[in-house]
Chain A
């Protein structure tokens, strides 16, 4: 990369980037705390992560103006690991996630993203929204109407304030108002302080306190793999959205590597694994950001806020955070997917719903993606495995002509064989493959079977119209055109 590009990416839009960075930092606080609580760790872990990731990604990310930090998608994957083995294992898993993501980037695997169907991606974001929503429900257990009213108040402020002013992020105002209300009325609602420690200190370097052995690897690897996949999925999706919003292009493999580097550093500084944040990235670009400076400012200003305002942060009622998270969930959900439900193919809808259900049941976004990808692959195979065979009899010569149309491969051969009537009276049969493609050895075996069956009935068979790849495959594998051809045992 040349100096000119670096200068442009960093200092091409100083004013817009600094302002947007500050707005994002303010909006990051409630989310980072709430995602820590979802993961079951101290709020500091999410705040440190958001600081570290935002700062590191500013330098090594592939998509300027994108914001990364602690996210709900990642937090949801950590719950079991943290509950069973503790936060030190989470830090180790975070570092391993980073290593796996760097490998992903180095081997340029981003190009395989195109094999993930859109209905799976839609299912992914919808499932994420549902999980963020349901993760808030335990906060209501054993609470009074005061807490309910605070949640409703927070949501009202978030939605209504932008009608009056857009200068400050409305979630932050909601947090401040609800916190002030709780403090002044001495209401005994649960606060962030009740959920864990919030030391006012800079993050410091430390090696995760886990035994360096195979057993540790076995514990952290499944979580790290899920984090790798989910983190990159959300990051690359967000990068594409920022690409479109800004009408520019970005390096997805560099972004993958960057996410990896950011996670490794975060793991060593006591943060949880993170990825790109769809909502924050949109806020950032909308607030005028275009360059890398925005992400750096967001991270640094976030740290400043935590250090300066730590005493106040612990007094934030959980109710306010629940309100913010409800709004995040509503904003994450892809409502347009419901609107177009009657327009898209039924199989797309099934894939989307299966992805969502799998995630909601397993609490693991990566499993939902796997289920969705496998199911849509099956649907795809089913769809293209329809072969059409039409036939007609030449009235002059009495020749029977079959025309095969479609993809001939393992999934379509049964239908293909059943389309031929080998016991017919015609003395001569012609099979025309002009509109077909022969893909694999099953297809060639099926052709063999048809030809040889005809021969057994003393019918002369001619195959024509094979395109070049099909014909070379048939020449290589077929037995019907070789001397002494007969069907093997089956």
Chain B
């Protein structure tokens, strides 16, 4: 049914709950694969580059941010991979999901920053509106 699942993660608690639901759905289908997608926006790029001595450390820190999400998926013995995208969170996830023909997108209802959400609108809302496949928003 849902064989190819995109799990959007920003490392927040909401994303971890989304990871649990994604794993639950994936374990119901044999050979399902979860792709954990982490988006680095302009602000994160600026902060990460400024605070890290080189790109190896940047990659390492980003891996660490979604470590918890990864653990949840791993603990269910599911096949998964991690992808890092660059750009604005919403549009990047939408483009990636539509270009790669996912069967399902799973995303947390709210990310890390309340202020950003107020100014820019929620990422999950944008994704739900514009992704072509079914979207599961986890509260």
Which listed segment binds A: B6-14, B17-25, B29-37, B48-56?
B48-56
| B58, chain A: closest CB distance, angstroms | 7
Given contact pairs A163-B119, A241-B45, A282-B42, A247 touches B86 in the complex (Cβ within 8 A): yes
The contact of A114 among B40, B54, B86, B119, by CB within 8 Å, is B54
Chain A, Cβ-Cβ closest to B54? A114
Interface assignment of A246: CB less than 8 Å from any CB of chain B: yes
| A90, chain B: closest CB distance, angstroms | 30
Given contact pairs A163-B119, A282-B42, A285-B42, A244 touches B48 in the complex (Cβ within 8 A): yes
Residues 232-279 of A contacting B (Cβ, < 8 Å): 237, 240-241, 243-247, 278
Q: Are B119 and A162 in contact (CB under 8 A)?
A: yes
The contact of A336 among B51, B53, B87, B119, by CB within 8 Å, is B51
Chain A residues, Cβ within 8 Å of B119? 162-163
Residue from A240, A337, A340 whose CB has the most chain B CB atoms within 10 Å: A240
| B126, chain A: closest CB distance, angstroms | 14
Chain B residues, Cβ within 8 Å of A246? 86
Interface assignment of A118: CB less than 8 Å from any CB of chain B: yes
Q: Are A245 and B42 in contact (CB under 8 A)?
A: yes
Distance of A114 Cα from B54 Cα, bound (Å): 8
Given contact pairs A282-B42, A285-B42, A245 touches B50 in the complex (Cβ within 8 A): no
Residue from B46, B55, B86, B88 whose CB has the most chain A CB atoms within 10 Å: B46
Q: DSSP majority for the B interface?
A: helix
Interface string of A276-292 (1 = CB under 8 A from B): 00100010011000000
Residues 45-76 of B contacting A (Cβ, < 8 Å): 45-55, 58
Q: Are A118 and B42 in contact (CB under 8 A)?
A: no
| B47, chain A: closest CB distance, angstroms | 5
| B10, chain A: closest CB distance, angstroms | 15
Interface assignment of A441: CB less than 8 Å from any CB of chain B: no
Distance of A240 Cα from B53 Cα, bound (Å): 11
Chain A residues, Cβ within 8 Å of B87? 245
Chain B, Cβ-Cβ closest to A239? B49
Q: Are B49 and A240 in contact (CB under 8 A)?
A: yes
Distance of A163 Cα from B46 Cα, bound (Å): 22
Chain A residues, Cβ within 8 Å of B88? 286
* Interface residue count on the B side (C-beta < 8 Å): 18
Interface assignment of A125: CB less than 8 Å from any CB of chain B: yes
Given contact pairs A245-B42, A245-B86, A246-B86, A114 touches B49 in the complex (Cβ within 8 A): no
Q: Are B50 and A125 in contact (CB under 8 A)?
A: yes
| A121, chain B: closest CB distance, angstroms | 6
The contact of B86 among A244, A337, A340, by CB within 8 Å, is A244
Q: Are B53 and A122 in contact (CB under 8 A)?
A: no
Q: Are A244 and B50 in contact (CB under 8 A)?
A: no
Q: Are B45 and A336 in contact (CB under 8 A)?
A: no
| B120, chain A: closest CB distance, angstroms | 8
Interface assignment of A9: CB less than 8 Å from any CB of chain B: no
Distance of A337 Cα from B48 Cα, bound (Å): 11
Interface assignment of A334: CB less than 8 Å from any CB of chain B: yes
Chain A residues, Cβ within 8 Å of B40? 244-245
Q: Are B51 and A122 in contact (CB under 8 A)?
A: yes
Distance of A336 Cα from B48 Cα, bound (Å): 10
Q: Are B47 and A118 in contact (CB under 8 A)?
A: no
Chain A, Cβ-Cβ closest to B119? A163
Binding site for B on A (CB under 8 A): 114, 117-118, 121-122, 125, 162-163, 237, 240-241, 243-247, 278, 282, 285-286, 334, 336-337, 340
Binding site for A on B (CB under 8 A): 40, 42, 45-55, 58, 86-88, 119
A118-B52, A122-B50 are known contacts; what are 17 more A-B pairs with Cβ within 8 Å?
A: A118-B51, A163-B119, A240-B49, A241-B45, A241-B50, A244-B45, A244-B58, A245-B40, A245-B86, A245-B87, A246-B86, A278-B46, A282-B46, A286-B42, A286-B88, A336-B51, A340-B51
15 interchain pairs, CB-CB under 8 A? A114-B54, A118-B51, A121-B50, A122-B50, A125-B50, A162-B119, A237-B49, A243-B49, A244-B40, A244-B58, A245-B40, A245-B86, A247-B86, A282-B46, A334-B46
